[in-house]
Amino acid sequence: SNQRLQKELKILAKDFADMPGCSAGPIDENLRHWEGIIIGPEGTPYAGGIFKLDIKFPDDYPYKAPKIKFATPIYHCNVNSAGNICLDILKDKWSPVLTVSKVILSICSLLSDPNPEDPLDPEVANLFKRDRNKHDEIAMEYTQRYAV
């Protein structure tokens, strides 16, 4: 699976070229532990923020999903206070044909397009549905405080 990770590193650049604002790579030569970076998408309350992801690959990767968490606090209905992310492809919809760049791109689009119907933080999801302006205000405050 180290070979697989080497290969993924090579295709990362190509994948991320289509989606500016995302990047990822190993921390200190350790192929099993990566850091991902997502720049908050324009037009969202996360705009201007730099969000770090902690990415750990299990020994049996790619047969098991990587463990990906937000290292930067973010106010989002699909991310809890521990940084865990509710994303089907990190759980039951994982498949070995997926790559870490595809997962990061999915996390990126979650920032543009939150899914309050499958929340990890029901309180944030309720506010998102009930009062989008207030939700966005709090999300912006978080971004300013933790991600800038």
For 12-69, the pLDDT digits (tens) are 878 777 777 888 999 988 899 999 999 999 999 999 999 999 999 999 999 999 999 9
**Over the range 61-80, which residues count as b (16 or more CB within 10 Å of their CB) and which as e?**
bbeebbebbbebebbbbbbb
Residue 55 φ/ψ, nearest 5 degrees: -120, 120
Mean pLDDT of 97-115: 93
> What is this structure's pTM?
0.93
Confidence (pLDDT) at 19: 73
* Active-site amino acid positions: 86
Q: Distance (Å, rounded) from C-alpha 38 to C-alpha 111?
A: 9
Cα 118 to chain centroid, rounded:
16
Q: Distance (Å, rounded) from C-alpha 76 to C-alpha 68?
A: 15
28-43: per-residue pLDDT in tens?
888 999 999 999 999 9
Residue 132 φ/ψ, nearest 5 degrees: -60, -35
Confidence (pLDDT) at 51: 98
CA max distance for the chain = 47
